[in-house]
Structure 1
Amino acid sequence: MSGFFGAVWWFIVTLGVLVTFHEFGHYWVARRCGVKVLKFSVGFGRPLWSRMGADGTRYQIAMIPLGGYVQFLDEREGEVTPAEIQQSFNRQPVFKRIAIVAAGPIANLLLCLGLFWLAFVIGWPGTAPILGPPSGIAAESGLLEGDRILFVAGEPTATWDQAVTPLAFAATDHRAVTLTVESATGQRSDKVLRLDRLAADFDQTDPLGAIGVTFGAGSEALIINVMPDSVAAGKLQAGDRVVSIDGRAIRNWADIPKLVKASAPGQALDVEIERAGAISHYSLVPRDVQIEGKPRRLLGIATGPKVVLTQYGPIDAAAASLAATRKQSREMLGFIARLITGKASSKNLSGAIGIAQVAQAEANQGLSRLLALMATLSLTLCIMNLLPIPVLDGGHLLYYLIELVSGRPVGERVLIAGQYAGLLVLAGLICLAFYNDLVRIFS
């Protein structure tokens, strides 16, 4: 599923799972604490589906898929019969209220761990961090095209996913960082990126571009897919490495379409491939076709750089899941701190549109990529909800901690003022993220 409707679909699926787990955390602990739950809603607004459960809770899926809520029995929100007064949320001891409110973010944390574990067991594909032609600071540091990044500041980087974030943070902090790289000939060396020399106003939406780092194609051109009924069908296979075409060595996968395009109409090409260590030659005549009104000359193969598969057994995957969650927690908290202090640009914030686009892109790359994204978003939901902003879980927890210290609940006027302030902050962040999404689309 692709295009606009594909993005909408994956957004609904992704956010629906995260919101359901979050609200179920509140619901489950509330029921264990003896609080009556009036409504469990995934989404806001008009219900699309609704039913009353045997437990007296109304379960519903609502029209606007941007969140959800659990409504408890509460004397502050309506009349409560004497028979049910002990099931009212506001009558619970402060420790129970803390447990109920904290359960939502904790559910997201547990979901994050579970999703990362499943992604690692299935196998998490990524692209090897091989550099393209460097420029600017990257070139000045001695980095070369074809270098593979092994470590960033001592942290191992098997894929680009693992290399980008520490580089972006070092750039944001204007901090020199050491890269351990392996050249195309297999030699290891350390290179110091003098990111303290970056311009103060560099474009934080493209930190790698500001550094002068580009994604390289890699030294291997692997066949990812062979199109049915193409000239390559029945001859070439997914996993084959293209060694040369008409005697011209293939440096990387991007060379293939250039050589095919440059061939004469009807010319047979000698395609040399490596399969399971053995070399084979195939004579293929590219087919001339029209794609979206434009002439194309194709072999009918999809090629790309070598994919690095990060995969573990069930036990090791649990340790890897904990490590990934811990690492991403540090990165998210670091980003929030940089955002508050002004080091990080607010242009890096993304909203619903950005999430939809990324969810679709990751889903297209495979189940494990989508699971890993959902794990990251679940952790984001956990951390964001724990921020001490009124209307969020963290704001309520702050009120309950004040109640624990002072011995009495926070006053009604303070609660109302906090609600308005929290809504204002939240609305501002949502609008800013939405604006950033639109700018990215139209630019």
Structure 2
Amino acid sequence: MTTSIFAFIIVLGILIFFHELGHFLVARLFGVGVEKFSLGFGPRLLGKTVGMTDYRISAIPLGGYVKMVGDEPDAELDPAMIPYSFTHKHVFKKIMIVAAGPFFNLLLAVIIYAGFFYFIGTEDIRPVVNHVAADSPAARAGLHNGDVVVAVNGSKVASWGGINRLIAEGRGAEVRITVNRDDSRFDVAVTPQTKVAKDILGDDAPYYDVGFSGLAPLKALVGEVAEGYPAQKAGMQKGDLIVAINDRPVDSWNTMKEIISQSKGEPMDVRVLRGEETLALEIVPVLYSEENILGEKVDSYRIGISTAGIDIPEADRITLKRGPFQAIAESIDQTYQISRLTLLSIGKLIKGTVSTKTLGGPIMIAEMAGQQAKEGIVNLVFFIAVLSINLAVLNFLPIPVLDGGHLMFFFIEAVIGRPINIRMREIAQQAGIFVLIMLMIFVFYNDIVRVFSN
């Protein structure tokens, strides 16, 4: 609990600081006076006044704000302060000041990812072919196990991540793969097969499969046997290798899963290899229901075993660090992809295709922050990056009170050539506050239900 609270304060403090720093720096850039720069709301706990700005930490650590001169359109203002007034600046300067907050949250994510790609790098495997699927484009092109891929369409590759990225960029078009085999180097032309899988949001996502891999197929080797499940009742043990089900050969973990999923709960004759002994077991799969990451109910037939995992030889493992420009480019792409995923998730929440049970508030964030902190500083920093992107996307939504609501008003002002009626803005702000209060009550309810249900 202490770790979660401490991690929550650190995470929230960093996110709020960067957000408000964006507003502050751009406001000062355009000559707007800043009266308060506060981390937190409510009574002032401590701080220091420099010039006209009171830099403070306030009692309620659930947000922050920058109080600018003249940011209330109907407030009386000393004529001497008009040059420093937010309201009296050109509308496009006001747009940039408001947009700077969420933009700085995106910038924080880019900085974190760029630092990770440059200083730490990502783990990958050497571009050595360890599996070629039968009757696949790679097999028809004559690729073999042991081939070393050195380039795709003339671009050098150092890992399987690079191979997969370049093939995906071709979007199904023929690719030229350069390989080393023994003492020779040659090119082969391969046309990927377009296949469809489900993405993290449950939507169809096309991908382009050549039919080769740096990993051998995952064997149907039993890692753990769940107590009380059919496999355990039938006598299956850790280390058993499933070689056939209903006389159908099992060549991989995926083949085994496919057979079990199609069983419809009918008894199965399972043949396993235990040491040098072959055993015959009768197992009846059970229907198991769970919620996926989207809160949707998913039914599947299971027998209660888990994989022993993939054993990647140490010689095949590599760590790839990027140069400064590539690190920045990849960090921008990573930030874009998570922003896109966040927007799609919000759309599915509105449509009702994603359960509102997935929404969480401060308690959930604190729990997750604590978990990531226990996993290590790198995990916690990555968590900050993801939350920072979420905060930016949410703040860009056109809801009054949020930055996106202010931007909506200023864009309308830019179009019609005058500010929106103050009374209309007040009504919209009140509606926005009501929506946010209802949302906060709902996520707190979700958090409490989640805590007591665990």
TM-score if structure 2 supplies the norm length? Answer: 0.62
Supply the distance in 2 between the matched residues of 1:99 and 1:83 (Cα, whole angstroms): 24
Structure-to-structure mapping, 1:256-275, within 5 angstroms:
none
1:19 to 16, 20, 27: 16
Amino acid of the structure 2 residue aligned with 1:210:
V
Aligned residue in 2 for 1:32: 29
Q: Within 2, Cα distance between the matches of 1:208 and 1:428?
A: 23
Residue 123 of structure 1 contacts residue 312 of structure 1 at CA under 8 Å; is this kept in 2? no
* Counterpart-to-counterpart distance in 2, 1:215 and 1:72: 58
Amino acid at match of 1:102: A
AA aligned to 1:15 is L
1:73 — aligned with what? 69
Alpha-carbon separation, structure 1, partners of 2:168 and 2:295:
19
For 2:61 and 2:308, how far apart are their aligned partners in 1?
38
> Could you tell me which of 378, 385, 388 is aligned with 1:368?
378
Go from structure 1 to structure 2 and tell me whether the alpha carbon gap of 1:80 and 1:311 turns closer, same or farther (over 3 Å shift).
same
1:380 corresponding residue in structure 2:
390
CA contact (8 A) 2:296 2:355 kept: no
Q: 1:166 to 1:61 in 2, by over 3 A?
A: farther
Q: How does 1:44-63 map to 2 (within 5 A)?
A: 44-53=41-50, 55-63=51-59
Contact kept in structure 2, 1:113 and 1:322, CA below 8 Å: yes
- Does 2:298 correspond to 1:210? yes
- One-letter code of the match for 1:218? G
Q: What is the CA distance between 1:123 and its match in structure 2?
A: 3.4
AA of the residue aligned to 2:390: T
Partners of 2:372 and 2:379 within 8 A in 1: yes
Q: 2:74 aligned with 1:64, yes or no?
A: no
Contact 1:73–1:88 (Cα < 8 Å) also in 2? yes
1:183 corresponding residue in structure 2: 217
Q: Give the alignment of 1:15-414 within 5 angstroms.
A: 15-53=12-50, 55-74=51-70, 76=73, 78-123=75-120, 167-170=199-202, 173=203, 175=204, 183-185=217-219, 203-204=291-292, 210=298, 212=300, 216=307, 218-220=309-311, 312-414=322-424
Could you tell me how far apart the structure 2 residues matched to 1:115 and 1:215 are? 34
| Structure 2: distance between partners of 1:190 and 1:37 | 60
**Cα distance, 1:412 vs. partner?**
1.3
Q: Distance in 2 between matches of 1:373 and 1:434?
A: 20
1:174-198 alpha-carbon deviations (Å, 9 max, x no partner): x5888979622598999999x9xxx
Aligned residue identity for 2:34: V
| Offset, 1:216 | 4.4
Question: Take 2:120 and 2:398, find their aligned partners in 1: how far apart are those partners?
Answer: 37
CA offsets 1:145-174 (integer angstroms, 9 cap, x no match): xxxxx99xx989xxxxxxxx964411xx5x
TM-score where L is the length of structure 1? 0.63
Please say if residues 219 and 252 of structure 2, whose CA atoms lie closer than 8 Å, have aligned partners that are also in contact.
Answer: no
Deviation, structure 1 residue 103:
0.8
Of 201-210 and 385-394, deviating more is 201-210
- Letter paired with 1:389: I
Residue 268 (structure 1) aligns with:
none
Does the CA-based 8 Å contact 2:364-2:447 persist in structure 1? yes
CA contact (8 A) 1:390 1:421 kept: yes
Change (3 A) 1:66 1:179: farther
The change in CA–CA distance for 1:383 and 1:11 in structure 2 (over 3 A counts) is same
Map 1:412-427 to 2 at 5 A.
412-427=422-437
C-alpha contact (below 8 Å) 1:51/1:60 kept by paired residues = yes
Counterpart-to-counterpart distance in 1, 2:292 and 2:324: 38
CA gap of 1:427–1:97, structure 2 versus 1, over 3 A, is same
Letter in 1 for 2:55: Y
Give the percent of matched residue pairs that are identical in Structure 1 and Structure 2.
Answer: 38
Partners of 2:324 and 2:307 in 1: CA distance: 33
Query: 2-side partners of 1:387 and 1:97: how far apart?
Result: 17
8 Å Cα contact 1:50/1:61 also seen in 2 = yes
CA contact (8 A) 2:95 2:410 kept: yes
Partner secondary structure for residue 52 of structure 1: strand
Quote the Cα distance in structure 2 between the aligned partners of 1:335 and 1:427: 21
Cα distance in 1 for partners of 2:324, 2:428 equals 45
Change (3 A) 1:22 1:102: same
Give the structure 2 partner of residue 289 of structure 1: none
Query: Hey, what does 1:224 align to over in structure 2?
Result: none
- Measured against aligned partners, the alpha-carbon deviations of 1:263-304 in whole angstroms (never above 9, x if no partner) come to xxxxxxxxxxxxx89xxxxxxxxxxxxxxxxxxxxxxxxxxx
Q: CA RMSD in A?
A: 3.9
Query: Helix, strand or coil for the counterpart of 1:66?
Result: strand
1:6 positional shift = 0.9
Contact 2:295 2:354 in 1 (8 A): no
Distance 1:117 1:352 in 2: 28
Would the aligned equivalents of 2:99 and 2:407 in 1 still touch at CA under 8 Å? yes
Partner secondary structure for residue 298 of structure 2 = helix
CA distance in 1, matches of 2:58, 2:319: 39
Shift of 1:423: 0.6
CA contact (8 A) 1:339 1:345 kept: yes
In 1, are the aligned partners of 2:412 and 2:420 still within 8 Å (CA)? yes
* Secondary structure at 1:58 match in 2: strand
| Structure 1 pair 36–122 and aligned structure 2 pair: CA distance change class (3 A) | same
C-alpha displacement at 1:51, in angstroms? 1.4
Secondary structure in structure 1 of the residue aligned to 2:383: helix
1: CA distance between counterparts of 2:372 and 2:112? Answer: 14
Which ranges in structure 2 are unaligned for 5 or more consecutive residues?
126-160, 170-196, 221-250, 262-288
Gaps of 5+ in 1: 129-149, 157-164, 196-200, 222-240, 242-275, 278-306
Q: Following TM superposition, by how much is the alpha carbon of 1:11 offset from its aligned partner in structure 2, in angstroms?
A: 0.6
How many residue pairs align between the two structures? Answer: 320
Equivalents in 1 of 2:322, 2:449: separation in Å? 39
Residue 58 of structure 1 and its aligned partner are, at CA, apart by: 0.4
Aligned to 1:292: none
Partner Cα distance (1:117, 1:436) in 2: 34
